[in-house]
Amino acid sequence: MTTNKLQLYSFHMSSCSFRVRIALNLKGLDYEYKPVYLLKGEQKSPEFLKVNPIGYVPALVDGDIVIADSFAIIMYLEERYPQHPLLPRDLEKRAINYQAANIVSASIQPFLIVDITKYIEEKVGPDAKIPWVKQHIGKGFAALEKLLKNHAGKYATGDGVFLADLFLAPQIHGSIQRFNFDMTPYPLLARLHEAYMQVPAIQAALPENQPDFPKT
């Protein structure tokens, strides 16, 4: 049976799911939260692989439409539910949003997923994981700091919350929370982080505010 309510397959700690949760909140879209407990390997279950064959969260179900990958989901939401546009009208700023989002989603986050960090720990050594993680976050953050210098306002590309912010907020938050990452060399990103923590749509999307966040 198909339901009209949107469904989001998500894990509270997943930064990729966090991006989509922010988009849904900004657009005021109600959704059913379908938890996929990554630490128990539920993303590799036969049922979930039917939803997303690569076994990653997030995935969105909208009626008969099933979409996985946070970028694809956010662009779908943007076109299907145009309220609170996630892209500025200015073409240059729009492109900067794509660039910043892709630095996070292609050049930082993939290096931090459990399969990769486990491989580094096993093949290179147990002490290699944290330097590996910090090197990739630092490389991406240094680029973002330079890229956004001439574009930022209150948020990454002006005074509105746009696509770049949906990718930056979870990445900065997770880097600080999970890896105790020092933001001192990245003053612009540190300032954006402070601003993000005041945005209700981002607060509601934080890991600790999700139904699958552990109670104890």
Ligand X SMILES: N[C@@H](CCC(=O)N[C@@H](CS)C(=O)NCC(=O)O)C(=O)O
* Contacting residues toward ligand X, per CB under 6 A: 14-16, 38, 43, 56-58, 69-71, 105, 113-115
> Which strands, in side-by-side order, build the sheet including 59-62?
31-35, 6-10, 59-62, 65-68
Least separation, in Å, of the C-beta of 184 and ligand X? 26
Nearer to ligand X, 107 or 154 (CB): 107
Tokens 């539920």 sit on residue: 42
Q: Do residues 105 and 97 touch, judged by C-beta distance below 8 A?
A: no
CA distance 49 to 153: 41
Among residues 20 and 152, whose Cβ is nearest to ligand X? 20
**Residues in contact with 80: Cβ distance below 8 Å, sequence separation at least 6, in sequence order:** 62
Q: Report the distance separating Cα 101 and Cα 78, nearest Å.
A: 15
Toward ligand X, which CB reaches closer, 9 or 158?
9
CB of residue 28 vs ligand X: minimum separation in angstroms?
A: 22
Q: Which is nearer to ligand X, 179 or 188 (CB)?
A: 179
| Nearest distance from C-beta of residue 71 to ligand X, angstroms | 6
The contacts of residue 86 (CB under 8 Å, 6+ apart) are 23, 26, 74, 77, 78, 162, 163, 166
Compare residues 38 and 148 and give the one whose CB is closer to ligand X: 38
The distance of closest approach from Cβ of residue 159 to ligand X in the complex, given in angstroms and rounded to an integer, is 26
Smallest distance from ligand X to CB 56, Å: 3
Neighbouring C-alpha atoms within 13 Å toward the C-beta of 16? 25
